[in-house]
Structure 1
Amino acid sequence: MSSLLLVPTLLRQLPLDVKLAVLTADSTHCSEDLLGVDGPAERRRVVLGGIEGGTLWQNEMKLPTVPTDAADIETDVAACVRRLRTAHPEIAAILFECTAFPVVAPAIRRITGLPVYDITTVCRMTFESTGMTAGRQIASIQKV
Structure 2
Amino acid sequence: MIYKAQKGRDIYGAPVGIIVMDCAIPYPPGTPGNPSSFGFPVLYEVVRGATMDSLIYTPDSRLAEPFLEAGRRLVAQGVRAVFGNCGFMVLFQERMAAALPVPVFMSSLLQLPLAARGLAPGQSVGIISASAASLTERHMEIALGGAEVAFHITGLENRPAFKAAVHDQSGALDFEAVEAEVVAAARDLIAAHPKIGTLLFECTDLPPYAHAVQQATGLPVFDISTLIGFGAASVMRRRFSGHY
Aligned with residue 117 of structure 1, among 222, 230, 237: 222
Q: 2:164 aligns with which of 39, 42, 58?
A: 58
Moved over 6 A (4+): none
- Structure showing greater radius of gyration is 2
Question: 1:12 & 1:61 partners in 2: Cα distance?
Answer: 32
Contact 2:127 2:199 in 1 (8 A): yes
More helix by share: 1
Say which SS state the counterpart of residue 66 (structure 1) adopts. coil
Match of 1:108 among 187, 209, 213: 213
Higher relative CO (Cα under 8 Å, sequence separation at least 6) belongs to 1
Tell me if the contact between 2:157 and 2:167 (Cα under 8 Å) persists in the aligned partners. Answer: no
Contact 1:20-1:92 within 8 A present in 2 as well:
yes
Q: Which amino acid aligns with 1:60?
A: V
Checking the alignment, whether the CA contact within 8 Å between 2:115 and 2:222 is kept in structure 1 is no
Give yes or no for contact 1:92–1:114 (8 Å, CA) kept in 2. yes
1:79 aligns with 2:199: no
What is the count of residue pairs matched by the alignment? 129
Tell whether the 8 Å contact from 1:109 to 1:115 is kept in structure 2 after alignment: yes
For residues 124 and 18 of structure 1, what CA distance do their matches in structure 2 show? 25
2:163 is matched by which residue type in structure 1?
W
SS at match of 2:204: coil
- For 2:204, the aligned partner's letter is T
Match of 2:170, SS state, is coil
Cα distance, 1:73 vs structure 2:
1.6
Deviation at residue 132 of structure 1 after TM alignment: 4.9
Task: Give 1:67 deviation, angstroms.
Answer: 2.0
Instruction: Please provide the CA RMSD for this pair.
Output: 1.8
Q: Distance in 2 between matches of 1:10 and 1:31?
A: 20
Identity of aligned residues (%): 31
Question: What is the one-letter code of the residue matched to 1:87?
Answer: A
Correspondence 1:99 to 2:204:
yes
Q: Which moved more, 1:47-56 or 1:7-16?
A: 7-16
C-alpha separation in 2, matches of 1:7 and 1:32: 14
Amino acid at match of 2:130: A
Partner AA of 1:91 in structure 2: I
Match 1:127 to one of 232, 235, 244: 232
Cα distance in structure 2, aligned partners of 1:20 and 1:99: 17
The unaligned stretches of length 5 or more in structure 1 are: 134-144
3-state DSSP class of the match of 1:65? coil
- 2:132 is equivalent to residue 27 of structure 1: yes
Which residue does the alignment assign to 2:114?
9
